[in-house]
Structures are given as structure tokens and as C-alpha cells.
Amino acid sequence: MSQFGGNTGERVVDTHAKALQINLDRRRYGTFAEIGAGQEVVRWFFRAGGAAGTVAKSMSAYDMAISDAIYGRAERYVCRQRLEAMLDHEHKLNLGRLSEVRGSTTAFFSFADTVSARSYKGNNECHGWMGVRFQSRPRDQDSQIIIHVRMQDGENALQQEALGIVGVNLLYGAFFLYPEPELVIESLLDGLTTQRIAVDMIEFSGIEFRQVDNRLMSMKLVQVGLSGAAMFDPDGTVLSSRSRTLTGFRTSREGLRRASPPTPDAVRGSPSRTPTPTPEWARSAARPARARRSARSGRGPAPW
């Protein structure tokens, strides 16, 4: 099924239309597991119609003891560790229970998010982790996209709405735009603005993204305005703004800098240091996306 709707040749940007297009794609079938801000993503698929062909299961383990019993203990309940445990658990269940019955015609997926939306007192940090693990075609190896989001609306209801939209955008991008990761990032803003949502980390992995440089994808977040800066460690692993790892690189619209713990001079507001010279891989970000895509070839093993 094409990424384009109708006969206009224009890319689908409407949230309802995206959910409906996924529902009408008979290959896609999977699980939604959402914790912390309602079940705002799967809600779009039920409202669009035809969800029985897409949603194998929808669940929300709000109680901490129940969440631990299902996914195992984590240091925090809104963290990457919890998200990856959710994706692992739900995807293995899908494959174990359904592969024999419909594996030859179904590309399975698992979507998960764990979120802290605006509380009643209104004094909490509003952010969350969201991801999808999916097969691009039946019986294929897995691919995965993980993002860290910040909800910037002042009201809980508006934050839930924004979270639902960005979740649909992520799923649509994973299913229909995965050959062009730059488009996946651009599409995250469909139906939203940077005043409502921020994405300060994205990581592509697995078979379909074997040639993707996540450092360049982090810089793309900055380019489209979803993030004020991109961070990654010396090994190239991308970091969110909540990462405890401070030593590495930080890039923003002002250039590439080495990130390090704050010094007394920095706390006092000393002038910023001279930017670190931009390495070759970062300069390649200026090349057209299509030129970079043409260089990708070969299929290697997925990392799980």
C-alpha cells in the first residue's frame, strides 16, 4: 500500500486518514501497550474503523505491581528500560501465539509507550518513551524505532491528544515511510506543532535501518525543529536529554560541541567554548537525503 492517499499523489498527513490506511492494510497486525496517559494512540484506530484487522490486543498496565509482574522491574516506570521490556514482551507474545496461524501473510508489530503526562497537581515533568517493533513484510526480521518525547501543552487533555497524534505518526512512518528515515522524522509533526511536542531522541535499528546513522537522524530532529539539540556519546549512541551520560557530543543549530558535566565557570556563565570541528560524518548531513539513500545496500542481521 502506498504512502499516498487517494489519487492526489500527496502524502497522507491527517491523523484519522493515517489510522484508517493502517487498518485497511491487511498485512499489519499487532499489539498496543500504553501506560501513563490513557490509551490515546490505539483510540485513533478504534475511531477510524476496521480496527479488528489491525489490533490483536490493547492493554494498559497502570498499577506498578501489575506492570512489574508483566514486564519485570525497572529503575523507573517512565524510562527506556521499561519501554524496551514492553516491546520485547508483547512482540514475543505476538510471534509465539500467532506466527503458526497467520505468519505467512502477516507483518506483526508491537507498539508501546510509557508516559508521565500533566498530573492533577501540575508539578511533574511531562515526557515519555514511545516505540514500535515491526516486520516490514511477513516473516521478515524485526526493525525498531524508539523516540523520547516531551509534551509541552499546559493541560493534561491536550497532552494526551498530542501523544495520540505523534503515536499514529510514528506507526504510519514505520509502516509506509521506513525506506526514507528522514521522512519518518518529518512526518512526526503532522497534525502538530513544535509548540506542542518535542522529540529530543530517536533511534532506528534492525534490518530495515541497517545503514542508518542515528547521529545524522538526531541532527535531522534539530533541523526540523523537533529538538533544540542532539546528543550522542563518543561511540555514536544517541542520548536523550534525560540521559545520565554527560560525556559525549552535543550538536545544535550553533554547531557541534563536546558535552561534559558543568564546571564552576559554566555555572557562573562563562563564555561558551570554541565549537569542536565538525567531523566528516556530520558534514555528510548536508548531502541531499536521496543521495544518502542511494548508497544503502545489503541486508544484515537484526540486533535481537
**Digit-coded pLDDT (tens) for 117-133:** 887 677 778 899 999 99
CATH superfamily of 15-212: CinA-like (3.90.950.20)
Q: 90-99, 152-161, 203-212, 229-238: lowest mean pLDDT where?
A: 229-238
DSSP string, 79-129: SHHHHHHHHHHHHHHHHHHHHHHHTTT-EEEEEEEEEE---SS--S--EEE
Is residue 263's pLDDT more than 70? no
Q: What pTM was estimated for this model as a whole?
A: 0.81
pLDDT value at 211 more than 50: yes
Close Cβ partners of 33 (under 8 Å, ≥ 6 residues apart): 58, 59, 60, 61, 86, 90, 110, 111, 112, 113
Contact between 36 and 159 under an 8 Å Cβ cutoff? The reply is no
Question: Where are the domains positioned within the chain?
Answer: 15-212
DSSP the chain: --SB-TTT-PBP--HHHHHHHHHH-TTEEEEEEEESS-SHHHHHHHHHS-GGGTEEEEE---SHHHHHHHH---S-SSSHHHHHHHHHHHHHHHHHHHHHHHTTT-EEEEEEEEEE---SS--S--EEEEEEEEESSTTPPEEEEEEEEEE--SSHHHHHHHHHHHHHHHHHHHHHSTT-HHHHHHHTTTT--TTTEEEEEEEEEEGGGTT--HHHHHHHHHHHTS-SEEEE-TT--EE-TT-S--SEEEEETTEEEEE-PPPHHHHHTPPPPPPPPPPHHHHGGGS-HHHHHTT---------
At residue 63, the pLDDT reads 85
* Angle, helices 40-48/156-176, rounded to nearest 10 degrees: 70
pLDDT at 272 over 80: no
Return the pLDDT at 76. 81
**Cα→Cα distances 132→64, 89, 114, Å:** 22, 12, 12
Give the range among 63-77, 115-129, 218-232, 285-299 with minimum mean pLDDT.
285-299
